[in-house]
């Protein structure tokens, strides 16, 4: 079968029920009820009856929480678990509003199967058995024809590991997440080749005790990764010096002693100039550098000409300001951090920029130091016993090792490309499982995606919501939300090791099911019984918890358990690094061997032509991209994105606050929907800014449909990182097109 895969709209309706039992709480005892106090009608069902442990799924941070229900088992609210070192009892707005996901009436409700009817493709509702049988038979077919390796998984979130387990047991390791090539991959590769380890997730930045922190485009506070924001606030109380580098006056720029309004795409020049000043003025930690690094002399001569005056011409930042900020960060060292950032897929040389950040940190001598980078530790939870996975004949490394030598993880865009037949494609992907990632909105280059979709033989999409990706599937499976399911034990590497339990607070709504159940069902149909040797996932969790000295029953009461550390959180003296030299590699022989610059070199990137502005995007604290765009609780806080325009630009373009415009990029791609103009001094005149995750085109997302503009849609020029295949997405330029009849504005 090689169908043209029509995009199908989903519309199904089904009813649901809720029932569950746990120990009731004695809450608010001895005080008047809200109804008495506020003189409200009696019999309101807002009274809390019990609380059920969980952890959040709105972003990857996984803050532990309590889900509060009333005596009718209705979910009322979700609050942070006080014992959780990651959230300290305080969820972020997305976590607090996360219940909107559970209540969302647009959720996927039944399995759906693509059928041909009257010459038109559409979905029909199906029972679970039929859908699962179909998936298993198609997977077997693909395995028989091409080998199990030709099935790939794209995933994000807590369901991912279940599908990865299924796929590995089936015989494929082709499992990719956008969190690598579209997000933190360049950073992680840079750190692996400098320090021999990644800067963590959660990041191992000791912000709590930091005295000076540099943020390169990181917008903490808008990026609401909970622990970091909590510690930033604590550090502000303690008088931290913040240095924020951003063409946009971000929230944290407003809290910074120094805001460096850099010309976009020139950050690497600034970093090299800082390295120059710190070496030139001998501000670096000499003992640390001598004891723990290699390649200092090469670095010194490499940056000798990269003066602040040199950087001034590139970055538009005053040389005096560059010197001043270099001295500030050196003065605070080692309690001084240049934050490695997280979403770093900007200009295609992101691994090199991240290397410069890693090098600068090494000069500050902050590795293993209080207020620098701490040593994370997690709990050693053994895997539930199961047979070894079969060894596949090939895997993702065979797809992209030649092209992207340093990619540690699998690259989404490379797997998409491998799904398209061509003369030099020797490892073709034939089928996809997509779990919890809305690929057309998360990964740029929609044309490539559509070509792949057209070439594939089979696509299964598992999601809670009718995201854009569901329209391309042969089978759609409705997953239940994190309020209705068990997932793996949360085990975060942090200063203090801790685990957290997620269990259902309610029965799954509609016909939705948990990933553990779905994968077990498919696995059994594929004859992989030994890999799913349990009747209920509770058995797995209970077994694992008992290995670390607790149990499911105990965790149901506590939600979170903290463990003591086995190693020190900070390091002294000579440190052993997991690099070939055992040292921090300022000069990277591995990069050199891969044909890459062994020390970071600034390269100029394309600039917007006249009448165009660089499209910069970011996060809002109350949304997690597509995932929350249809969540009514969070829509109340931010219903759509706006395009930020500097007043000078607004004057030239004749735009007013609140005007609605289309955006058209350098390749002539126009946004599907209009976006509201926000005229603000907070953005440079050569750029515009939008929050990512809006402008949804799927009508079944009734609340998100057509609200704002999609950034991904406008990112058609992708600057691919030669080191690790990351998709640099900040090289796109847009112009304004008036709402009325798409009449273009001339300047």
Partner 1 sequence: MRYAMAIDVKKCVGCSDCVVACQVENNVHHGYCRDWVTETINGTYPQLETEIRSERCNHCDNAPCVRCCPTGASHIADGGIVLVTARKCIGCGACIQSCPYDARYSHPDGHVDKCTFCAHRVEAGQQPACVAVCPTSCMYFGDIDNPYSDISQIMKVRKWKVLAPEAGTRPQIFYLL
CA 720-726-729 angle, 5° bins: 65
Closest distance of CB 215 from partner 1, Å: 13
| Residue with Cβ nearer partner 1 (77 or 556) | 77
Shortest distance, position 230 Cβ to partner 1, whole Å: 5
CA distance 642 to 676: 5
**92 or 418: whose CB is closer to partner 1?**
92
Q: How far is the CB of 378 from partner 1 (least distance, A)?
A: 23
| Cβ proximity to partner 1, 114 vs 614, nearer residue | 614
CA 88 to chain centre: 22
Burial tier of 295 (Cβ tally within 10 Å: 0-12, 13-18, 19+): buried
Ramachandran area for residue 29 (φ above 0: left; ψ -120 to 50: alpha; else beta): beta
Min dist. Cβ of residue 441 to partner 1 (A): 23
Q: How far is CA 517 from CA 69, 388, 623, 664, 681, in A?
A: 24, 21, 29, 44, 51
Token pair of 580 as six digits: 């070939």
CB of 229: closest distance to partner 1 in angstroms? 5
CB of 675 to partner 1, least distance (A): 19
Q: Which is nearer to partner 1, 105 or 408 (CB)?
A: 105
Nearest to 155 by CA among 142, 141, 172: 172
Residues sharing a CB contact under 8 Å with residue 494, sequence separation 6 or more, in sequence order: 85, 86, 202, 227, 376, 377, 378
Taking the C-alpha atoms of residue 630 and residue 468, their distance in angstroms, rounded to an integer, is 12
Peptide bond before 616: cis, by omega within 30 degrees of 0? no
Dist. CA 441–CA 695, nearest whole Å: 10
Nearer to partner 1, 28 or 115 (CB): 28
- How near is the Cβ of 373 to partner 1 at its closest, in Å? 22
Under 8 Å between Cβ of 692 and 345: no
Q: Considering beta carbons, is residue 225 or 513 the nearer one to partner 1?
A: 225
Q: Which residue has the tokens 């990719």?
A: 176
Q: Which one, 678 or 696, has the nearer CB to partner 1?
A: 678
Measured from the CB of residue 208, what is the shortest distance to partner 1 in angstroms? Answer: 13
Residue closer to partner 1 (CB basis): 670 or 703: 703
State how far the Cα of 504 lies from the Cα of 487, in Å rounded to an integer: 9
CB of 370 to partner 1, least distance (A): 21
DSSP assignment of 612-661 equals -EEEEEE--TT--GGGGTT-HHHHTT--S-EEEE-HHHHHHHT--TT-EE
Residues 6+ apart with CB under 8 A from 378: 491, 492, 493, 494, 497
Closest approach, Cβ 301 to partner 1, in A, equals 34
72 or 741: CB nearest partner 1: 72
Q: Which two tokens stand for residue 672?
A: 């599907």
Smallest separation, CB 684 to partner 1 (Å) = 7
Contact 516, 485 (CB under 8 A): yes
Please report how close the Cβ of residue 96 comes to partner 1 at its closest, in angstroms. 5
Q: How far is the CB of 399 from partner 1 (least distance, A)?
A: 40
Instruction: Give the angle subtended at the CA of 251 by the CAs of 716 and 321, to the nearest 5°.
Output: 90
Q: By the 8 A CB rule, do 17 and 506 touch? A: no
Give backbone dihedrals phi and psi of 666, rounded to 5 degrees, phi first: -65, -20
Q: What is the DSSP letter of 672?
A: S
Closer residue to partner 1 in complex, CB, 425/680: 680
Q: How far is CA 155 from CA 109, 134, 151, 278, 442, in A?
A: 20, 21, 13, 42, 11
Q: How far is the CB of 692 from partner 1 (least distance, A)?
A: 17
Q: Which C-beta is closer to partner 1: that of 70 or that of 201?
A: 70
Nearer to partner 1, 445 or 686 (CB): 686
Cβ 208 vs Cβ 200: under 8 Å: no
Q: Which residue has the tokens 């992101």?
A: 350
Distance of CA 230 to the CA centre of its chain: 19
User: From CA 162, how far away is CA 522, in angstroms rounded?
Assistant: 11
- Give Cα separations from 571 to 293, 337, 370, 374 (angstroms): 15, 16, 9, 8
* Pick 47 or 280: Cβ nearer partner 1: 47
If the CB atoms of residues 44 and 301 are measured against partner 1, the closer one turns out to be 44
Beta bridge partners of 123: 114
Which CB, 212 or 416, lies closer to partner 1? 212
Pairing, β 120-125 against β 613-618: unpaired
- Residue 366 vs 646, nearer CB to partner 1: 646
Q: How far is the CB of 677 from partner 1 (least distance, A)?
A: 16
In terms of Cα–Cα distance, which of 96, 364, 91 is closest to 205? 364
d(CA 650, CA 630): 30
For residue 717, the minimal CB distance to partner 1 (Å) is 26
> Could you list the residues that contact partner 1 (CB under 8 A)?
28, 31-34, 37-40, 46, 76-80, 89-93, 96-97, 99, 220-222, 224, 226, 229-230, 232-234, 236-237, 249, 251-255, 259, 261, 621-622, 632-634, 636-638, 646-647, 680-685
**Integer Cα distance of 302 and 352 in angstroms:** 14
């Amino acid at each position: 079968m090689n169908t043209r895969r029509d995009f199908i709209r989903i519309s199904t309706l089904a009813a649901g029920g809720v029932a569950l039992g746990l120990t009731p709480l004695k809450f608010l005892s001895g005080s008047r009820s809200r109804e008495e106090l506020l003189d409200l009608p009696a019999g309101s069902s807002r009274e809390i009856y019990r609380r059920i442990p969980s952890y959040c799924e709105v972003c990857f941070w996984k803050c532990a929480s309590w889900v509060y229900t009333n005596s009718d088992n209705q979910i009322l609210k979700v609050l942070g678990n006080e014992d959780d070192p990651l959230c300290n009892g305080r969820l972020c707005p997305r976590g607090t509003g996360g219940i909107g996901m559970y209540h969302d009436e647009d959720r996927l409700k039944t399995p759906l199967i693509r059928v041909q009817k009257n010459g038109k493709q559409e979905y029909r509702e199906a029972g679970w058995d039929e859908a699962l049988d179909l998936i298993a038979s198609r997977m077997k077919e693909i395995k028989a024809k091409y080998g199990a390796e030709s099935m790939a998984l794209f995933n994000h979130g807590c369901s991912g590991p279940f599908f990865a387990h299924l796929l590995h047991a089936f015989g494929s390791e082709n499992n990719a997440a956008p969190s690598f090539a579209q997000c933190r991959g360049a950073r992680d590769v840079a750190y692996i080749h400098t320090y021999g380890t990644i800067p963590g997730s959660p990041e191992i930045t000791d912000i709590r005790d930091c005295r000076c922190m540099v943020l390169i485009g990181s917008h903490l506070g808008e990026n609401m990764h909970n622990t970091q924001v909590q510690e930033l606030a604590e550090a502000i109380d303690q008088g931290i010096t913040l240095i924020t580098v951003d063409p946009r006056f971000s929230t944290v720029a407003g809290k910074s002693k120094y805001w460096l309004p850099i010309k976009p795409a020139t950050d690497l020049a600034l970093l090299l100039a800082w390295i120059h000043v710190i070496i030139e003025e001998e501000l670096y930690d000499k003992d640390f550098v001598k004891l723990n690094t290699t390649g200092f002399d090469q670095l010194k001569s490499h940056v000798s000409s990269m003066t602040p005056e040199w950087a001034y011409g590139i970055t538009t930042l005053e040389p005096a300001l560059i010197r001043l900020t270099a001295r500030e960060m050196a003065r605070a060292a080692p309690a001084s951090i240049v934050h490695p950032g997280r979403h770093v897929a900007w200009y295609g040389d992101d691994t090199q920029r991240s290397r410069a950040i890693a090098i600068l940190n090494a000069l500050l001598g902050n590795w293993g130091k209080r207020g620098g980078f701490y040593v994370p530790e997690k709990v050693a939870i053994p895997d539930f016993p199961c047979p070894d996975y079969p060894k596949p004949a090939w895997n993702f490394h065979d797809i992209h090792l030649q092209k992207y030598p340093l990619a540690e993880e699998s690259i989404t865009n490379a797997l998409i490309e491998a799904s398209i037949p061509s003369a030099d494609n020797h490892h073709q992907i034939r089928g996809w499982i997509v779990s919890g990632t809305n690929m057309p909105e998360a990964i740029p280059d929609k044309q490539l995606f559509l070509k792949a979709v057209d070439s594939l033989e089979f696509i299964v999409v598992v999601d809670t919501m009718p995201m854009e990706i569901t329209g391309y599937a042969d089978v759609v499976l409705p997953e239940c939300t994190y309020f209705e399911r068990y997932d793996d034990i949360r085990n975060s590497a942090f200063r203090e090791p801790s685990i957290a339990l997620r269990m259902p607070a309610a029965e799954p709504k509609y016909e939705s099911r948990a990933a553990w159940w779905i994968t077990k069902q498919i696995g059994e149909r594929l004859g992989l019984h030994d890999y799913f040797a349990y009747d209920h996932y509770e058995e797995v969790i209970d077994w694992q918890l008992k290995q670390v000295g607790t149990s499911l029953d105990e965790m149901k009461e506590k939600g979170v358990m903290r463990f003591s550390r086995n190693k020190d959180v900070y390091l002294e003296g000579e440190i052993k690094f997991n690099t070939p030299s055992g040292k921090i590699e300022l000069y990277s022989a591995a990069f050199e061997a891969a044909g890459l610059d062994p020390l970071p070199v600034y390269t100029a990137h394309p600039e917007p032509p006249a009448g165009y502005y660089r499209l910069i995007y970011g996060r809002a604290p109350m949304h997690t991209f597509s995932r929350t765009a249809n969540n009514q609780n969070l829509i109340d806080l931010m219903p759509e994105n706006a395009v930020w325009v500097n007043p000078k630009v607004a004057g030239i373009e004749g735009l007013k606050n609140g005007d609605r415009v289309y955006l058209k990029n350098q390749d002539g791609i126009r946004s599907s929907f209009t976006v509201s103009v926000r005229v603000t001094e907070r953005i440079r005149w050569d750029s515009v800014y939008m929050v990512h995750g809006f402008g949804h085109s799927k009508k079944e997302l009734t609340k998100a449909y057509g609200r704002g503009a999609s950034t991904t849609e406008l990112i058609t020029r992708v600057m691919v990182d030669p080191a690790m295949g990351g998709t640099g997405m900040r090289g796109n330029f847009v112009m304004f097109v008036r709402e009325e009849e798409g009449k273009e504005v001339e300047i």
